[in-house]
C-alpha cells in the first residue's frame, strides 16, 4: 500500500477512540502498549463489518458468505505477507500469537530432530515464551538449554557467540526487541553468524512489529513470530513466518479439520501449507482485523513513526532520570518502545496502583522475563511502553504523578 498520510500525532490520537476516555477523572495516558496496543477505528470497523455483513466459516462453503469470509481471511494473510516481505502468503501460518508460533516451531520443527546432548541457544533477555517451550522440549528429548549472556546495559554479548555456536546447537531463539528492557538486538548479525554454522534462527518479533519495519528475507532468519495485539490488531491472532520449503518439511502439529487432504481410518494425508498448520476453525475476524492493522501501519512512513517514538522515548528517559532514587533497568545504546525502572523504597506494584489514580496505565511486575529480573537483582520493575499515539506531554504527566507518588511513600 502506498504511503498516504504524513505523521501527525494529534491526528493519530483521534484514530484511537479509547484515548478519549478518562480514568479516575483524569485523561487516560496509556503507557502499556508493550502488553497490548490500543486499536484504531479502522481495525474495530473491519471486525465489526465482518460480523455484521460477512460472517461465515472459511474454506468450507460454496455459499457467498463463506466465500466472502474466505477472501477476507486470506486477504489478511496476504497483507501480512507483504508487510514483512515474505516471498509468498503460503509462508504465513496464522497462530494465536507469538507464544503459539514458538511452541509450533519447538514441537514440529525441532522435536523430531533433537537428540540428547543437543543444544538450544536463547539469550538472557528472553520473554518466557521464548524460554519455556524450549525447556519443555529439553525435558522431552534430553537436549540442553544454553544462554547467550547480556551486559549491565542489557545488551547481548555478541562476542560470546562464536564460542557458543558449536555443532551441538540445533536452533538459536532470540528476541528482536526486549519487552522488559527495550533493547533492540542485532538480529541480522546473529542470523549471519548462525548461518555460517548452518544453525537455524527463530526471532521473537512480538515487540518489534509495531516499532520497526521487518523484512524477513533481509534479516536472514528461519522463523519470525509475531502477535496481532502488539501491532494495533486484535488479540488471539498472530503468525509464524517460515520459508515455504521449511514449512513443507515440517510435520503437522495439531490434527483436525482444515489441515487434511484425505482421511480414512487407516491413513490421513496432509493439506498444503499453511493449512497443514491451521487445524480447526481459525480466528477469522482476528485475521481480518490484523490485515486492517497492517493497512493502518502501512499508511505511514515507518521512518516518521520511528522519529516520533524515539523523541518520546528519549524525552522520557531524560525526564525519568530527574527523579531521585529512580533507576532505569536497561540502558542499551539501541532501544525502542520500553523503559523499565525501579523507585527506591517503593514496590513497583504500589507505584502502579497509585499512578493509576492519575489516569496513567503502566505495567508492573516481572513482565514474563524473570531471568532478566534475576540478572539485574530486582524482583520486579515498573514499565512504561510507548506506541505511535503517545506524546511528550503525557510523559510530563507521568513525571508529575511519579513525583507526587514518591512524596507519598518517602
Q: What is the contact surface with ligand C6P in residues (CB under 6 A)? A: 34-35, 97-99, 127, 129, 175, 179, 204, 206-207, 227, 238, 363, 367-368
Q: 108 or 123, CB closer to ligand C6P?
A: 123
Conformational region of residue 180, where left means phi above 0, alpha means psi within -120 to 50, and beta covers everything else: alpha
* Closest distance of CB 175 from ligand C6P, Å: 5
* Closest distance of CB 341 from ligand C6P, Å: 15
Q: 35 or 399, CB closer to ligand C6P?
A: 35
Q: 69 or 175, CB closer to ligand C6P?
A: 175
Q: In angstroms, what CA-CA distances link 308 with 6, 294, 337, 389?
A: 12, 19, 11, 9
Half-sphere exposure of 75 (CA within 13 A, CB side): 15
Q: 274 or 286, CB closer to ligand C6P?
A: 286
β-strands 201-204, 169-175 pairing:
parallel
**Residue 87 grid cell:** 516471498
**Residue 71 grid cell:** 477472501
- Contact predicate 297/233, CB 8 Å: no
Q: 118 or 289, CB closer to ligand C6P?
A: 289
What residue spans of 211-301 are helical by DSSP H? Answer: 216-219, 244-249, 284-298
Q: Which residues pair with 22 in a beta bridge?
A: 27
Q: 7 or 83, CB closer to ligand C6P?
A: 83
**Residue 298 grid cell:** 502501512
What residue spans of 173-325 are helical by DSSP H? Answer: 187-196, 216-219, 244-249, 284-298, 302-320
Q: 54 or 230, CB closer to ligand C6P?
A: 230
**Residue 98 grid cell:** 507469538
* Closest distance of CB 367 from ligand C6P, Å: 5
Closest CA to 189 of 204, 205, 177, 201: 201
Exactly one of 138, 191, 221, 368 is catalytic; name it.
368
- Contact predicate 312/339, CB 8 Å: no
* Closest distance of CB 167 from ligand C6P, Å: 28
Q: 97 or 252, CB closer to ligand C6P?
A: 97
Q: Taking each helix axis from N to C terminus, what angle separates 302-320 and 392-409, rounded to the nearest 10 degrees?
A: 30
Conformational region of residue 23, where left means phi above 0, alpha means psi within -120 to 50, and beta covers everything else: beta
* Closest distance of CB 276 from ligand C6P, Å: 21
Cα(115)–Cα(142) distance, rounded to whole angstroms? 7
Cα(233)–Cα(3) distance, rounded to whole angstroms? 19
What DSSP state is assigned to residue 323? S
* Closest distance of CB 361 from ligand C6P, Å: 12
* Closest distance of CB 267 from ligand C6P, Å: 34
* Closest distance of CB 259 from ligand C6P, Å: 21
368 is catalytic: yes
Cα(409)–Cα(365) distance, rounded to whole angstroms? 19
Known catalytic residues are 368
Amino acid at each position: 500500500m502506498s504511503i498516504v498520510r504524513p505523521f501527525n500525532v494529534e491526528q493519530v490520537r483521534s484514530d484511537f477512540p479509547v484515548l478519549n476516555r478518562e480514568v479516575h477523572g483524569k485523561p487516560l495516558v496509556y503507557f502499556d502498549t508493550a502488553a497490548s496496543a490500543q486499536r484504531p477505528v479502522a481495525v474495530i470497523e473491519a471486525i465489526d463489518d465482518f460480523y455484521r455483513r460477512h460472517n461465515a466459516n472459511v474454506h468450507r462453503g460454496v455459499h457467498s458468505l463463506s466465500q466472502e469470509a474466505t477472501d477476507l481471511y486470506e486477504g489478511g494473510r496476504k497483507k501480512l505477507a507483504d508487510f514483512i516481505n515474505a516471498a509468498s502468503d503460503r509462508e504465513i501460518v496464522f497462530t494465536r500469537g507469538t507464544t503459539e508460533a514458538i511452541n509450533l516451531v519447538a514441537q514440529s520443527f525441532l522435536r523430531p530432530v533433537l537428540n540428547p546432548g543437543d543444544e538450544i541457544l536463547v539469550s538472557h533477555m528472553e520473554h518466557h515464551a521464548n524460554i519455556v517451550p524450549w525447556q519443555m522440549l529439553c525435558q522431552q528429548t534430553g537436549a540442553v538449554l544454553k544462554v547467550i549472556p547480556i551486559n549491565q546495559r542489557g545488551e547481548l554479548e555478541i562476542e560470546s557467540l562464536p564460542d557458543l555456536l558449536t555443532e551441538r546447537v540445533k536452533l538459536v531463539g532470540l528476541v528482536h526487541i526486549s519487552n522488559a528492557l527495550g533493547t533492540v538486538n542485532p538480529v541480522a548479525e546473529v542470523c549471519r553468524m548462525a548461518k555460517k554454522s548452518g544453525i537455524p534462527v527463530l526471532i521473537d518479533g512480538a515487540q518489534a512489529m509495531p516499532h520497526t519495519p521487518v523484512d524477513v528475507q533481509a534479516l536472514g532468519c528461519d522463523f519470525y513470530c509475531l502477535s496481532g495485539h502488539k501491532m494495533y490488531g486484535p488479540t488471539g491472532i498472530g503468525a509464524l513466518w517460515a520459508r515455504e520449503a521449511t514449512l513443507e518439511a515440517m510435520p503437522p502439529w495439531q490434527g483436525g479439520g482444515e489441515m487434511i487432504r484425505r482421511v480414512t481410518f487407516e491413513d490421513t494425508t496432509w493439506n498444503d501449507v499453511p493449512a497443514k498448520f491451521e487445524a480447526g476453525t481459525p480466528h477469522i475476524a482476528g485475521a481480518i482485523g490484523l490485515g486492517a492493522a497492517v493497512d493502518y501501519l502501512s499508511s505511514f512512513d515507518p521512518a516518521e513513526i520511528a522519529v516520533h517514538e524515539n523523541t518520546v522515548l528519549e524525552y522520557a528517559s531524560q525526564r525519568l532520570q530527574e527523579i531521585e532514587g529512580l533507576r532505569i533497568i536497561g540502558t542499551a545504546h539501541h532501544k525502542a518502545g520500553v523503559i523499565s525502572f525501579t523507585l527506591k523504597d517503593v514496590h513497583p506494584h504500589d507505584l502502579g496502583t497509585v499512578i493509576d489514580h492519575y489516569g496513567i496505565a503502566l505495567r508492573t511486575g516481572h513482565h514474563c522475563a524473570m531471568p532478566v529480573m534475576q540478572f539485574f537483582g530486582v524482583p520486579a520493575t515498573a514499565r512504561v511502553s510507548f506506541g505511535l499515539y503517545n506524546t511528550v506531554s503525557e510523559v510530563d504527566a507521568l513525571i508529575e504523578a511519579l513525583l507526587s507518588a514518591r512524596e507519598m511513600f518517602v
